[in-house]
Amino acid sequence: MSKIIGSSLPNIPWVDKPENYKMPIWRYPQNPIIGRDAIECSNSVFNSAVVPFKDGYAGVFRCDSKSVSMDLFPGFSKDGIHWEINEKPVTFLGEDKEILKREYRYDPRVCFVEDRYYITWCNGYHGPTIGVGYTFDFKTFYQLENAFLPYNRNGVLFPRKINGYYGLLSRPSDTGHTPFGDIFYSRSKDLEYWGHHRHVMAPIREDASAWQSTKVGPGPIPIETEEGWLLIYHGVINTCNGFVYRVGCALLDIDEPWKVKCRSKYYVLAPYEYYECVGDVPNVVFPCAALTDADTGRIALYYGCADTVTGLAFTTVNDLMDYMKKYPL
Ligand code: BMA
């Protein structure tokens, strides 16, 4: 039995695993939970991040507009399933106007560390890089310096300092649709200067696990367990019809998170359902957030479906650990 180290969340959205279900992650039967036209301007609402907030939940949502401009929108929910998303995007306050200039913003992650909710996202600054900001209330948002030079995507913070440093996973990239990608770990004393970069994991270029042969990138905030950090990540294969995005999991060392202790050979979630296979970008499942309940080991996973709508799925820390150990790389 594996245990999550963290808070209890008795009202976590939850549906039991269907009987005789073979996969470690199962879907909310009424998926998608957020449709593409959830707000007036939106063409699509996907790759978004949610956290427990007050007596319910809050989040930062990626809404691409009907002019296909990518931006971040705050949202609120009582139950984690039905969401009210603001019609207006986040505007950031900050000390340096240069940093506040908006080119595009997408694929947010939200991470509570110490006393506030940090937001990291793919931020356009002469190419994609990792934007960093924070909020206390999901009303007023502050932007800090970008974590890196371009080009980088998928900045994912750790929920506590590790050996006195903030930790960040990311995936260096290029200006386009990046036909490569490894996950790296970086650390910082002040959330501004990042260094001590360490390689975490690479795509698997052979037959052993071809679904993750082109690139891999971190997904939700890593989940602290008694055995290490449970990382849910996306893996990509290039096909004659373009990229296919699936989901895998790995276990990282608790003190040296660049050391991979275990990694699944089989994917744990893949585009099977219609809304995952058909949309603006077909065959994409892209996880960006996970709610956890330390008492039960339950995990509610939020993921973008076909770059169009938002899905919800469920698993437990034991389901993922057991599957990873049954089918290790
Ligand atoms: C990645 C990102 C994601 C997107 C995915 C599939 O490079 O742009 O936002 O979901 O491609 O199109």
CA of 178 from ligand 1 middle (Å) equals 10
Q: Are 156 and 166 in contact (CB under 8 A)?
A: no
Give the pLDDT score at 206: 84
Give the pLDDT score at 178: 94
Q: Which amino acid is at 260?
A: V
Question: Domain residues of the chain, as ranges?
Answer: 34-326
CA of 285 from ligand 1 middle (Å) equals 9
Confirm or reject: Cβ of 276 under 6 Å from ligand 1: no
Give the pLDDT score at 286: 98
Helix ranges restricted to H, the chain: 97-100, 274-277, 317-326
Q: Per-residue pLDDT averaged across 41-57, rounded?
A: 98
Judged on CB neighbours under 10 Å (0-12, 13-18, 19+), 76 is middle
CA of 163 from ligand 1 middle (Å) equals 32
Q: Does position 234 have pLDDT exceeding 90, yes or no?
A: yes
How does pLDDT run across 121-131, given as a tens digit for each residue? 999 999 999 99
What percent of the chain has pLDDT above 70? Answer: 100
Q: Per-residue pLDDT averaged across 34-55, rounded?
A: 98
Reduced to 3 states (helix: H, G, I; strand: E, B; else coil), residue 297 is: coil
Q: How many CA atoms lie within 13 A of 6 on its CB side?
A: 31
Nearest to 301, CA basis, from 95, 12, 7: 12
Q: Per-residue pLDDT averaged across 63-83, rounded?
A: 98
Residues 6+ apart with CB under 8 A from 157: 109, 111, 113, 118, 120, 166, 167, 168, 221
CA of 325 from ligand 1 middle (Å) equals 29
Tokens representing 102 are 């908006």
Number of H helices, E strands in the chain: 3, 22
Q: Tell me 328's DSSP state.
A: B
Task: Tell me which long-range contacts 208-212 makes (C-beta under 8 A, separation of at least 24).
Answer: 208/265, 208/329, 209/235, 209/248, 209/265, 209/266, 209/329, 210/237, 211/235, 211/237, 211/244, 211/246, 211/248, 211/267, 211/270, 212/236, 212/237, 212/246, 212/248, 212/267
How does pLDDT run across 155-209, given as a tens digit for each residue? 999 999 999 999 999 999 999 999 999 999 999 999 999 999 999 999 999 899 9
Q: Which amino acid is at 214?
A: T
How does pLDDT run across 311-327, given as a tens digit for each residue? 999 999 999 999 999 99
Residue 170 backbone dihedrals phi, psi, to 5 degrees: -155, 175
CA of 158 from ligand 1 middle (Å) equals 22
Confirm or reject: Cβ of 214 under 6 Å from ligand 1: no
Give the pLDDT score at 247: 99
Beta strands in 163-209 (DSSP E): 166-172, 183-188, 194-201
Confirm or reject: Cβ of 245 under 6 Å from ligand 1: yes
Output the CA–CA distances (angstroms, integers) from residue 275 to 12, 46, 165, 288, 298, in the order listed. 24, 12, 40, 17, 24
What percent of the chain has pLDDT above 90? Answer: 99
CA of 281 from ligand 1 middle (Å) equals 8
How does pLDDT run across 261-303, given as a tens digit for each residue? 999 999 999 999 999 999 999 999 999 999 999 999 999 999 9
Q: Tell me 212's DSSP state.
A: G
Q: Which amino acid is at 248?
A: G
- Centroid of chain to Cα 271: 17
End-to-end Cα, the chain, rounded Å = 21
Q: Per-residue pLDDT averaged across 110-123, rounded?
A: 98
Give the pLDDT score at 157: 98
Superfamily of domain 34-326, CATH level 4: Glycosyl hydrolase domain; family 43 (2.115.10.20)
Q: Of all protein residues, whose CA lies closest to atom 10 belonging to ligand 1?
A: 307
How does pLDDT run across 213-225, given as a tens digit for each residue? 999 999 999 999 9
Ligand 1 pocket mutation pick from 43, 47, 64, 123 by most atoms within 8 angstroms of CB: 47
Q: Does position 1 have pLDDT exceeding 90, yes or no?
A: no
Omega before 328 within 30 of 0, i.e. cis: no
